[in-house]
C-alpha cells in the first residue's frame, strides 16, 4: 500500500511540474546538454556567453536586424529562446479562455483579459500543452520572433534573409519556410499533438505531415531527445518511439 501511494505521489508530482512552462524551459536546458544546437539554423549556442549565446560561425547566421528601430542592439538575435514549434496561439484558440476570457481573468481595474495569460491561469489542459517539452525547441530569438504564430509552408527555404541559415518568413502570407532536414521533426510534433490533445488538423495538413513523417525518419538525436524527455515528463512521442522500436 505504501509503495502504491509513493508511486501515485511521484506520478502526480511529475505531471504537476509539467504544467509550468518556466519549469519545462529549465529542464530542457539539461535535456539539451551535449547537443546545444538550434532547430531552424542548426546553430551552436552557449549559455555562458552573456553577450551573444549564438555561435554564428557554426551556422553562418546573420541577423535580419542587428539593431532595433531605436538603434539598440537586437538582443533576440543574440540569444536562444524556447520556441513552441506549434505556436501557443494555434492550439490555444480551441479554448474559450483564449477567445473570450474567463470570470477569473479580471484585472485590478475590473477589465477582463483573455489569451495566453488567462488560459495559463484557469485551464489545466492548456498549461500541459504549453509546457509539453516535446513541442519546445531552442531557436535563435530573432527567428522565433519573426516566425510568430505563422504556419509552415510547403516550399523549402532559401538562404538569404538570415545569412546562410535556410529559414524564410513571408510576412504577408503569414507562412514560414524551413530547411528540408527538419520536416520530419515538424511532422511528428504536429501528429503527436493531434493524437495526444486532439488538436485539429486540416485534411491537407494531416496528409502533408503523414507524408513528411515517412519521408524524413527521426535521426539519432531526435530519438535520444525523445528518451530524455520521457524520463522527465513521463511520456514519449509515439511517432518517434515507433521508429525507435523498428530500428
Any domain includes 188: yes
**Considering the domain boundaries, does residue 1 fall inside one?**
no
Q: What is the pLDDT of residues 27-58, one digit of tens each?
A: 999 999 999 999 999 999 999 998 999 999 99
* Percentage above 90 pLDDT, the chain: 85
126-184, pLDDT tens digit by residue?
999 999 999 999 999 999 999 999 999 878 888 889 999 999 999 999 999 999 999 99
DSSP string for the chain: -HHHHHHHHHHHHHHHHTT-HHHHHHHHHHHTTT--B-TTT--EE-TT-SS--EEGGGTTB--S-SB-TTS-B-GGGSSEEEEESS-HHHHHTTSHHHHT--TT-B-TTS-B--HHHHHHHH-HHHHHHHH-GGGEEEEEHHHHHHHTTPEEPSSPP-EEEEBTEEEEEETTTTEEEE-GGGHHHHHHHHHHHHHHS-----HHHHHHHHHHHHHS---HHHHHHHHHHHHHHS---HHHHHHHHH-
34 belongs to a structural domain: yes
Domain count, the chain: 1
| Mean pLDDT score, 220-224 | 97
pLDDT tens for each residue of 56-77: 999 999 999 999 999 999 999 9
Within-domain flag for 229:
yes
pLDDT tens digit sequence for 230-246: 999 999 999 997 655 55
What are the cell numbers at 183? 520536416
Asked if residue 140 belongs to a domain, the reply is yes
Residue 2 included in any domain: no
Instruction: Decide if 6 is inside a domain.
Output: no
- Predicted confidence at residue 156, as pLDDT, reads 86
Domain span at 106: 13-246
Question: Residue 14: its pLDDT value, please?
Answer: 43
User: pLDDT digit string (tens) for 126-142?
Assistant: 999 999 999 999 999 99
Question: Which residues, other chains included, contact 208 with Cβ-Cβ below 8 Å and sequence gap of 6+?
Answer: 154, 187
Does 4 reside within a domain? no
Amino acid at each position: 500500500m505504501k509503495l502504491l501511494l509513493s508511486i501515485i505521489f511521484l506520478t502526480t508530482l511529475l505531471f504537476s511540474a509539467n504544467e509550468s512552462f518556466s519549469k519545462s524551459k529549465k529542464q530542457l536546458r539539461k535535456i539539451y546538454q551535449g547537443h546545444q544546437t538550434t532547430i531552424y539554423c542548426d546553430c551552436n549556442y552557449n549559455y555562458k556567453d552573456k553577450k551573444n549565446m549564438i555561435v554564428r560561425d557554426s551556422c553562418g547566421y546573420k541577423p535580419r536586424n542587428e539593431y532595433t528601430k531605436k538603434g539598440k542592439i537586437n538582443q533576440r538575435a543574440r540569444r536562444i529562446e524556447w520556441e513552441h514549434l506549434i505556436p501557443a496561439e494555434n492550439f490555444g484558440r480551441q479554448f474559450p479562455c483564449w477567445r473570450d476570457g474567463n470570470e477569473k481573468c479580471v484585472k485590478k481595474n475590473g477589465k477582463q483579459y483573455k489569451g495566453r495569460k488567462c488560459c495559463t491561469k484557469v485551464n489545466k489542459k492548456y498549461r500541459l500543452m504549453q509546457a509539453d517539452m516535446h513541442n519546445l525547441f531552442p531557436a535563435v530569438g530573432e527567428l522565433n520572433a519573426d516566425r510568430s504564430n505563422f504556419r509552415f509552408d510547403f516550399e523549402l527555404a532559401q538562404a538569404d534573409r538570415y545569412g546562410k541559415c535556410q529559414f524564410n518568413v513571408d510576412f504577408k502570407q503569414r507562412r514560414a519556410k524551413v530547411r528540408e532536414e527538419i520536416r520530419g521533426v515538424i511532422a511528428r510534433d504536429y501528429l503527436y499533438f493531434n493524437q495526444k490533445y486532439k488538436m485539429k488538423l486540416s485534411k491537407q495538413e494531416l496528409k502533408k505531415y503523414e507524408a513528411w513523417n515517412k519521408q524524413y525518419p527521426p535521426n539519432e538525436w531526435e530519438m535520444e531527445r525523445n528518451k530524455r524527455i520521457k524520463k522527465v515528463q513521463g511520456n514519449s512521442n509515439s511517432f518517434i518511439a515507433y521508429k525507435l522500436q523498428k530500428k
